[in-house]
Amino acid sequence: NAMDLLPVDLLPMVWGWIYGAAGHDPAHAYLRVVPTADLSITMGLSVGVLITCLVYNVKIKGLGGWIHELFAAPFGNHWALYPFNFAMQIIEFVAKTVSHGMRLFGNMYAGELIFMLIALLAFGGFGLLWVLQVVLTSGWSIFHILVVTLQAFIFMLLTVVYLGLAHIDLDRH
């Protein structure tokens, strides 16, 4: 996320120089500056958090204890409730993983998209729209600096919460 704090053309310009020095056409050099504005990156990060949580579940509770928790929580330890408990656990794992990745992606992608929409104001054909563009870009840049750092903090905080939940043994608490 912190790469979004650099000037917008700095890294693509440097990449164009490197791409051109390697013998390629610099006009075809492509670099996405903010990797978290790509859904595959954020979902990969959240799947990594899911795998880490599953590993910690097994490490803390043991394989048998974790499997028991899959079937005994949240509704209770009765054989008739096992299918419902298991379904709820799977829904929880999927929902946490998808929402964790989508939250970061959505905020970062929307920030880039708003910058692009503000940049298109100059093409409206009216003489003073560039003044509005400068004002909006300045305001959004200040706000976006807060969003970038806040989203990184929220992703990290949710990761710590999910790992903390993996350490809790529901049978003992």
Question: Which tokens in the block code for residue 17?
Answer: 């120089």
Residue 172, pLDDT score: 60
40 in Cβ contact with 102 (< 8 Å): no
Residue 62, pLDDT score: 92
Catalytic residues: 99, 103, 107
Residue 171, pLDDT score: 60
State the pTM of this model: 0.82
Please state, in angstroms and rounded to a whole number, the distance separating the CA atoms of residues 116 and 77: 54
**pLDDT digits 0-9 by tens, 52-84:** 999 999 999 999 999 999 999 888 889 999 999
96 in Cβ contact with 50 (< 8 Å): yes
Residue 125, pLDDT score: 61
Residue ranges of the chain with pLDDT lower than 50? none
Residue 77 in 3-state DSSP? coil
